[in-house]
Structure 1
């Protein structure tokens, strides 16, 4: 059995010659290409992840932006008139609550108000008797831009609603650039009126929408109504001829009382006899009613003999 070779003690072991360290060997071209491909793959993967995150953010942001735009649009609409204290200036269908408020003022409220703060009652005058279909006729000629017309329509509708029924009344406001700007009001344009006692014609000759240097034309009066208007009005709005017996020219009360109010606020105030609006509008309505009753032989009697109308009748000249 052979013996293992004897180990030379470390001290006696010959010293090996040390080779200086070699510099790093450059990576062969193949390895470099492989590394570059790997880097591109990592970059592509990172870009894909970023794109996925971007799409996920867009899925959240886009619907949120749509909601914000819709909310902003509603705010703008509110601020520009449809629900704010500034009334819209374009003609439109009147809110049913406004219609109910202005056409159904309680008789007890009208009686309480009496003449109220009405400043100018209808004046006796006119030409030949004004009739239509064998009934006394009330002719109104005005314009939507006119602030005095805006004020006068409220009591006219209150008064006329005691004799008949309106259909299709519109909601509008006077010009925003005239005195008493953007006064809330109604419009007779496109409306109709039925009554067993009287006839009514409402002519809105011009709108509140600018056209050139003036306002767009709306209603064209008949030749007969144009003759009445041109002969008796002096060419000014509003003009009201009550059966050829009484005339109204201009607003019967101060339009300032309506400033800053919405249509709904005006309509609601008409049933509060302590409100400044009721005192002005309902007081004027009683005077218009009294003038109409003078042409209907005091019919209907429950209207024409009411306390408010009898009080207003004393102001007619």
Structure 2
């Protein structure tokens, strides 16, 4: 029996050395593949969240800012800048309370937009005289406009003292409209009584308080059916003897924009000025409404051409 030949060792001549091969990479297990897919999906979700946040944050910032502005507007917190208020200048008072009758006659109804509306209500009186009740606020731009016409009209029946001088809110429509104020003033007349109530000052802080009776009058006649539902509680509110009602400004307050108190007062005696056409024209119609409660007294005032023109504007 022959012995087997010994196997040749690597490198031995006469036989080729066996070839070495690189082992194939191991395939990942199913568990590892699942973890990889989960990690990739989590990364994609994270990217989507980042993109969504980047899109939402600017919108949220805008919405918060808008919401804050709405709250400020509705509550009045911080929405009104301080307004300089003090006694009215003597020159201003002299011109407003002394508009020449000839100028008022020449203006007629001027550019009045909303004359006093007739109402069916109990007579409003005080001390046996017809009474005019005004409710407004110093910050209110429409009140600011209406006061000029009311002072011109009421000065034909009596005398004011202690009128103030101020301006409407600087951050409302028709900002900083120059005006007078009835706060702290008094009025004397042999034919008509007047009560002027400014419920808030130029910053929206409480000022004058309505009596219980006047609050009832305001609540009743500043509501439907006497005014549209959209105007409920609106100021300025003026009840003229229980016969006529003013809700809002009688003319366009824009005409007073950019003017000083002195400029407004001086313009009242120029019948060609836009301010005289607006203020004096409204004053003539308000005067006519008051004359309807005083039985046309005083005669010289109530029968004047300007007031007669104003009477025709009353419906």
- Deviation track 1:276-316 (CA, whole Å, cap 9, x = no partner) reads 00000000000000000000000000000000000110010
1:282 aligns with 2:280: yes
| Alignment match of 2:119 (pick from 113, 117, 125) | 125
In the alignment, structure 2 segments of 5+ residues that lack a partner are 1-81, 223-231
The DSSP-based 3-state class of the residue aligned with 2:200 is: strand
Report the aligned-residue RMSD. 0.8
| Alignment match of 1:226 (pick from 207, 215, 225) | 215
2:225 maps to which residue?
none
C-alpha separation between the residues in 2 aligned to 1:136 and 1:248? 16
The DSSP-based 3-state class of the residue aligned with 1:186 is: strand
1:163 maps to which residue?
157
The DSSP-based 3-state class of the residue aligned with 1:287 is: helix
C-alpha separation between the residues in 2 aligned to 1:138 and 1:228? 12
2:294 maps to which residue?
296
Q: Normalising to structure 2: TM-score of the pair?
A: 0.71
The DSSP-based 3-state class of the residue aligned with 2:99 is: coil
Q: Normalising to structure 1: TM-score of the pair?
A: 0.70
2:52 maps to which residue?
none
Aligned residues: 225
1:29 maps to which residue?
none
- Structure 1 stretches of at least 4 aligned residues deviating more than 6 Å after TM superposition: none
- Deviation track 1:36-67 (CA, whole Å, cap 9, x = no partner) reads xxxxxxxxxxxxxxxxxxxxxxxxxxxxxxxx
In the alignment, structure 1 segments of 5+ residues that lack a partner are 1-87, 210-214
The DSSP-based 3-state class of the residue aligned with 1:153 is: helix
1:196-211 alignment, distance < 5 Å: 196-209=190-203
Q: CA deviation at 1:89?
A: 2.3
| Alignment match of 1:153 (pick from 147, 150, 158) | 147
Q: CA deviation at 1:91?
A: 1.9
C-alpha separation between the residues in 1 aligned to 2:236 and 2:297? 26
1:242 maps to which residue?
240
C-alpha separation between the residues in 2 aligned to 1:293 and 1:89? 35
Q: CA deviation at 1:126?
A: 4.9
1:29-44 alignment, distance < 5 Å: none
- Deviation track 1:78-105 (CA, whole Å, cap 9, x = no partner) reads xxxxxxxxxx923211100000010000
Q: CA deviation at 1:127?
A: 2.1
